[in-house]
Amino acid sequence: MNHIVRIVYVDADACPVKNEIVEVCEQFKVKMVFVSSYSHFLTLPSSVKVVTVDNEKEATDLYLMNHVKKGDVCVTQDHALASILLSKGVETLSPRGLLYNEDTIVQMLDARYLSQKQRRMGGKTKGPKAFQQEDRLKFINQLSKILSKKEGSSQKSSNFKDLRW
Residue 51 CB: number of other CB atoms within 10 A?
16
| pLDDT tens, residue by residue, 6-30 | 899 999 988 999 999 999 999 999 9
| pLDDT of 6 | 82
Beta strands 73-75; 91-93: pairing state: parallel
| pLDDT tens, residue by residue, 26-81 | 999 999 999 999 888 888 999 999 999 999 888 999 999 999 999 999 999 988 89
State the Cα–Cα distance between residues 102 and 134, nearest whole angstrom.
25
Cβ neighbours for 26, distance < 8 A, ≥ 6 positions apart = 47
Residue 84: HSE in the Cβ half-sphere, 13 Å Cα cutoff = 13
* Distances 20 to 137, 139, 157 between C-alpha atoms, Å: 9, 8, 12
Where does 45-139 show beta strands of DSSP type E? 48-53, 73-75, 91-93
Q: Give the max Cα distance, the chain.
A: 52
What is the layout of strands, in order, in the sheet containing 31-37?
48-53, 31-37, 7-11, 73-75, 91-93
The answer to whether the CB of 144 falls within 8 A of the CB of 24 is yes
Q: Dihedral sign for Cα 61, 84, 27, 159, please.
A: positive
Q: Could you tell me how far CA 47 lies from the centroid of its own chain?
A: 18
Q: How confident is the model at residue 151 (pLDDT cuts 50, 70, 90)?
A: low
